[in-house]
Amino acid sequence: MTSQTGTVAPAGNSYAPDQATIDRLRERAQFIRLETVRLIDIAKTGHYTSVFSAAEVFSALYYDVMNLRKGEPKWEERDRFTIGKGHAAVGLFPIYADLGFFPTEWLDDYTRLGSPLGDHPDMRKVPGVDFSSGSIGHALSNAIGIALAQRWTGKHYSVFCMMGDGEMQEGQVWEAALFAAQNKLGRLIGIIDRNGFQLDGRVDDVMAIEPLDEKWRAFGWEVHIVDGHDIAAVTELLRRLRADDTRNQPAMVISKTLKGRGVSYMETEPGWHLGWLDPSDADEAIAEIKSQVI
Amino acid sequence: MNGPKSPNSWQYRGLNMKNPGLDHLSNGLIDLVKAGHNVVAGSADLQYSNGLNRFAAAYPDRYISFGISEQNMVSVAAGIATTGVVPFVATFASFLGLLACEQIRMDVAYGGQPVRLIGHHTGISLGFYGTSHHATEDIGTMRSIADLTVVSPSDGAQLEAVIAASAEWDQPIYIRIGRGRDPVVYESRPSFTFGKAHVHGFGEDLTIIACGITVHAALEAAAAMKAEGRSVGVIDMASIKPLDRDAIIEAADRSRTGKLMTVEEHNVLGGLGAAVAEVLTDESKGIRLKRHGIYDEYSLIAPPTHLYAYYKLDGAGIREVAEGFLRG
């Protein structure tokens, strides 16, 4: 990537990424999965599947769509990202190191005493984290505050917020949904990682949330549904939403994903929300991740 | 018919405009904006209760209407603060310090964001509106949150002083205030420093350490006791965290009776009295401390002045409790 990423309206009024970009973003999504396996082995516990469902979106955002500067995590005009499912931070830290926000060596001490890197991201300790996470349901409100503040700072940027689908059960999300529409926050783009599972089982068995698109539309948001593992489709959609300066309502992307995508047995067993792979199993998981084109 | 005929009839917004006690919060904020600080304010559907309608009228572009969503308000404020803009957000203390307690801990304090949280109508000042609206736990919840400053100004002038001092204070702040009808303690804006008490004198018989609306009542009680020959002092401990430990130690050292007293419009558990007791224990002062306030119960409903009398939190009541303590 260049020193500064960001969306530039491509020729032909199309936001579709070219093949070289698709290949690069696929490779970065694979890097995110592989680093997740490596870091969780250091901690001996972690949220593999929560990262695996979001890997393509993470890759598209940080390696293409978001306006960022390498090595400048506090650049005031950068795009921001907040995350409600903070337990997926293990998949974000390798990206931040890769972007030069902190030394790569930090990753090697992931979760150890004194490390800034824990299971949930801390903005006071980890350069690149735009807002701390760990209590589900706050992130959309945090993103709203950052987006709203452009009125008083004169800075221009977009704010992305990823939430889990189980997170839709938190009441604060809907307070925030009303507020963002009322305040016409067109620079706010939400993403729901609709992977279908929460700790106690299937989201729709525990506390049904459908019809999700109609709910957000009814709350005044522009709603898009995308296959969250189709890197070309994800990138095109997020590029287009970010580039649209005329939108006067917030946008919500429902990213349909598979929890655990990339390691076949994790895709069908919700218990893998939290776990650890013995090195022999980790080797097989790595091999499976490397063997696929997602 | 355009409205009620009697001038005695009243409605909510009209009442607001007739209460100059509600000017102080907005005055303090307007002064900050005028001094060049990038300050914004918001409230959860209570701008006419806390007087922020005055700020909104002065700076409509700097006022945020959150509707009835306290948790969203706190988390949005934390997001705003990450950009260098300083948000003041206000709602009833019963909701701010309890309903949004976790957002305050997680997004504001743990997040290290200099949000200014205004918990108004604190203690039992909402009277008969209901125990649901009383806040007798907020000092306890807020002061146990790391990196959160907690202050309880005793009147409007001191509130303005706190707001002015906040411009030089990086930590997030919880500001606990009354309903804008607090009796005047300070005729003009007093000096205020975080971590420093306003000492109205030490007493050899008794020093009463108070905060918020009880400072005025404690001064009344002290004056009456002094008129009868007692040596009684009062400390306005507006800065509850950081606490002025030196003032407490000096009060203990000057006491010839070996007694001190705290007064607060709050549960006697977890509040100012508990904070003072911690210092006295830490310092092994061997002092008997009377912690006066709401005695770990849900407060009754009644007009506020009746409640202050019932709970012995007015001047006469504090005097009665103090004299009983000195005798016993």
The predicted-structure confidence for A62-94, as pLDDT tens digits, reads as follows 999 999 999 999 999 999 999 999 999 999 999
According to the model, what pLDDT value does residue A2 have? 39
B37–chain A Cβ distance below 8 A for any pair: no
Sign of CA dihedral A95, A100, A106, A111: negative
CB contact, 8 Å: A172 with chain B?
yes
A116 to chain B: which residues are within 8 Å by CB? none
Quote the CA–CA distance of A180 and B319 in Å, as a whole number. 52
Q: Give A25-68 as a DSSP string.
A: HHHHHHHHHHHHHHHHHHHT-B-HHHHHTTHHHHHHIIIIIS--
pLDDT in tens, A176-204: 999 999 999 999 999 999 999 998 899 99
Residue A86 token pair: 């903070």
The CA angle A133-A139-A143, to the nearest 5 degrees, is 125
Distance from CA of A81 to the nearest CA of B (A): 11
| Strands ordered across the beta sheet of B239-241 | B63-65, B39-43, B86-92, B116-120, B173-176, B149-151, B239-241
CA–CA separation, A163 vs A228, rounded Å?
A: 13
Check: CB of residue A32 under 8 Å from CB of residue A207: no
C-alpha neighbours within 13 Å on the C-beta side of residue A100: 11
- In one-letter notation, the amino acid at residue A58 is F
**Inter-residue contact B59 to B33 (CB < 8 Å):** yes
Q: In the prediction, which pLDDT does A1 show?
A: 38
**Confidence tier at A6 by pLDDT (50, 70, 90):** very low
- Write down the pLDDT at residue A12: 52
Say whether pLDDT at A45 is over 70. Answer: yes
Which pLDDT value is given to residue B180? Answer: 94
Distance CA B321, CA A9 (A): 75
Phi, psi of B118 (to 5 degrees): -105, 110
pLDDT tens digits, A200-255: 899 999 999 999 999 999 999 999 999 999 999 999 999 999 999 999 999 999 99
Q: Which amino acid is located at B165 in the chain?
A: A
Does A59 contact chain B (CB < 8 Å)? no
Is B103 touching A (CB cutoff 8 A)?
yes
Which chain A residues contact residue B83 at CB under 8 A?
A: 76, 146, 149-150, 152-153, 155
Residue ranges of chain B whose pLDDT lies below 50: none
Asked if B70 is an active-site residue, the reply is yes
What residues does A162 pair with on adjacent strands? A83, A191
Smallest CA–CA distance, residue B167 to chain A, in Å, is 17
ipTM (interface predicted TM): 0.89
* Predicted local confidence at residue A105, as pLDDT: 98
Angle between helices A19-43 and A279-291 (to 10 degrees): 170
Question: Of B70, B137, B160, B220, which one is the catalytic site residue?
Answer: B70
Instruction: State how far residue B264 is from chain A, nearest Cα, in angstroms.
Output: 33
For β-strands A188-194 and A197-198, DSSP reports them as unpaired
Measure CB to CB from residue A152 to each of B85, B106, B110 and give the nearest one: B85
What is the Cα Rg of chain B in Å? 19
Contact B52, B26 (CB under 8 A): yes
Residue of chain B whose alpha carbon sits nearest to that of A144: B76
**pLDDT score for B313:** 98
Number of Cβ within 10 Å of residue A157's Cβ equals 21
Is the backbone peptide bond immediately before B172 cis, with ω within 30 degrees of 0?
A: no
- Split at pLDDT 50, 70, 90, the class of A13 is low
